[in-house]
Chains A and B, each alone.
Chain A
Amino acid sequence: MSENVWILGIHMTPFGKRADKDVLDLAAEAALAALKDAGVTMKDMQVMGYGNLRGGTSGQSLQKQIGQTGIPSFNVSNACATGSTAMRAVIMAIKAGEADMGIAVGVEKLYGAGLLTGNSVDSGPETWTPTGRNGAIKNLDGYIGTSGMAGLFAQIGMAYNDSDPRADFELFARISEKSHSHSTLNPNAAYQNKMSLEQIMNDPMIAYPHTRSMCSANCDGAAASVIVSETKLRTLSLEQQRRAVKISASILASDPWTEASQEFPDVSTVTRNAAVAAYEQAGLGPDDLDLVELHDCFAAAELVHYDNLGLCEPGGAIDFFNSGATWRDGKLPVNVSGGLQSKGHPIAATGIANIWEVATHLRGEAGPRQIQGAKAGMAHVIGLGSSCTVHILEKSGL
């Protein structure tokens, strides 16, 4: 039986435009605050997991800012699941018995980045020249489907129509209305303004049925967590034990072979597999959860993940949403942080930020947006390509 693992300290920086700090400053802000929250220092850390997709930094460059003790850094890259994958690496090191305490950090500066797939396409050489595995003679975006994220996830959401024809533009916009409403209570969210259904639907269309306010917001931000073994935790102060959050399940999965995924990202099968494994590892089911932070990179994604995570009956995501269950006063609040559409999505930070949100409610420290009496919660993140992390957390009983 491997060691149980716990979150000892965790922090998320405010998301948004952080012109005051560069990537390493933001990473350091999150890491130092997580260490302080845990009541420990870099001297106690034996392993680091680090993720920064677009800033060119590493765990070693962060260590030069906050403490060079010679510990290994697993510098990971797993698309939008990078932060939670870095945390998974630390968890595995502790479960393997190679460390009893470690830190995971995810950071990104994306404010004003525009399209992550690139903001311009060059016209190519003067003569058609086949390149790459498919012998393409030009950039295929817009010629053979789309490589834009808003369009990819639009198609994933529109396909839910197979199980329910009510999966339409207005339904997806109503999911974003919830997101923007929840964000008004989150002082760390990049966008905290409430938006009406009409405002959301009349926003500029990016990729039907996603308008701008139905897309995740590029922004700056970082998050970090200090992970500890249960054996070590039991030697720490009663206050540290009381505030610690149990990691009841930690799953990282890749998309398995499916026919359709050869041509088009399949974020559903990988999420279903990860969720089933996570419930089994935790010994809990969806009915035991008090809140969920799921990867709503676009409005349509939230709908399909209700179903993929088993939060509703199979095929029942629309009735589940229409019942009001996923609003903060509903049966199973989803994305009370405001989600990626309003809280923001600094990609490598998101995986740990979602875990921070759940952990903060389980500690009873979420302030005005606290879900009262929360004892268990789930954090889900997708990295397109596709990977998925699911963590199930429980309130400390120590």
Chain B
Amino acid sequence: MSIPIVNYLVLEPQPHLVAQECAACKSKFFGRHNACPKCFGDTFAEFAVPTTGVLKTFTIVHHDAKGVPVPYCAAIIDCGGMTVSGNIIGVDPDPEIITRGMQVQLKTYSLGTDAEGVEAIGFGFEPV
């Protein structure tokens, strides 16, 4: 039994992110909306976000709230024209290694299991 870190991470059959797409103007965003922020349309469809993308910008966070493991690389990824927020994982959080324009792909990992044995699944992006 497993549970994703957020409801827009879909684990089966292959892990991917799901956005809402405005039926009228095709703009895309994560999370439920009452109306489209661009055209005010109120009909939405689900959109499977491409699992590969390009790293647009990043930071290496060294100081964060107690309980957040540091350092980590927070980044903004362009996945086929959709802006996605996520961490760069699978490499050292080092600005000599992580570069803008880098090709990355979605990867999931375990965040541990709770008292009932349910495994939580997080996601990040790994250099291709």
Interface residues of A (CB under 8 A from B): 115, 117-123, 126-128, 130, 133-146, 148, 150-152, 154-156, 158-159, 161, 169, 204-210, 257, 259-260, 262-264
Contacts and interface: CB of A to CB of B under 8 A. Distances in A.
Contacts of A154: 59
Contact of A204 (B63, B66, B83, B95): B63
A112 to B, nearest CB: 15
A263 B120 contact: no
A97 B15 CA distance: 59
Interface of B: 3-8, 27-32, 37-38, 56-70, 72, 74-76, 81-87, 95, 100, 111, 114-116, 118, 120, 122-123
B83 A263 contact: yes
A257 B115 contact: no
A128 B57 CA distance: 31
Contacts of A140: 5-6
Contacts of A205: 60, 62-63
Contact of B59 (A115, A207, A263): A207
A148 B64 contact: yes
Contacts of A128: 3, 114, 118, 120
Given A126-B114, A136-B6, A263-B85, A142 B70 contact: yes
A10 B80 CA distance: 51
A142 B83 contact: no
Contact of A142 (B68, B116, B118): B68
Contacts of B37: 257, 262
A146 B74 contact: yes
Which 3 pairs across A and B sit closest by C-beta, in order of nearness?
Answer: A135-B7, A142-B68, A154-B59
Contacts, number: 159
A134 B8 contact: yes
A144 B7 CA distance: 13
Contacts of B56: 159
A23 B62 CA distance: 32
Contacts of B65: 115, 117-121, 141-142, 148
A119 B63 CA distance: 10
Contacts of B38: 257
Contacts of B62: 204-208
Nearest to A168: B95
Nearest to B100: A161
Contacts of A122: 67
Contacts of B123: 144
A155 B8 contact: no
Given A142-B69, A143-B122, A127 B114 contact: yes
Contacts of A138: 5, 111, 120
Contacts of B59: 146, 150-152, 154-155, 158, 207-210
Nearest to A264: B76
A121 B29 contact: no
B59 to A, nearest CB: 4
26 contacts: A120-B65, A120-B66, A121-B67, A122-B67, A123-B67, A133-B31, A136-B5, A136-B6, A139-B67, A141-B68, A142-B65, A142-B72, A144-B87, A145-B74, A148-B65, A150-B59, A155-B57, A155-B75, A156-B57, A158-B100, A205-B60, A206-B62, A207-B60, A259-B81, A262-B28, A262-B37
Given A143-B5, A145-B85, A263-B83, A134 B31 contact: yes
Contacts of B70: 142
Contact of B67 (A120, A210, A260, A264): A120
B120 A134 contact: no
B86 to A, nearest CB: 6
Contacts of B63: 115, 148, 150, 204-207
A143 B87 CA distance: 7
Nearest to A158: B57
Nearest to A261: B83
Given A134-B31, A204-B63, 17 more contacts: A119-B65, A123-B67, A128-B114, A133-B32, A134-B6, A139-B68, A142-B61, A142-B68, A142-B69, A145-B86, A155-B57, A155-B75, A156-B57, A206-B62, A262-B28, A262-B29, A263-B85
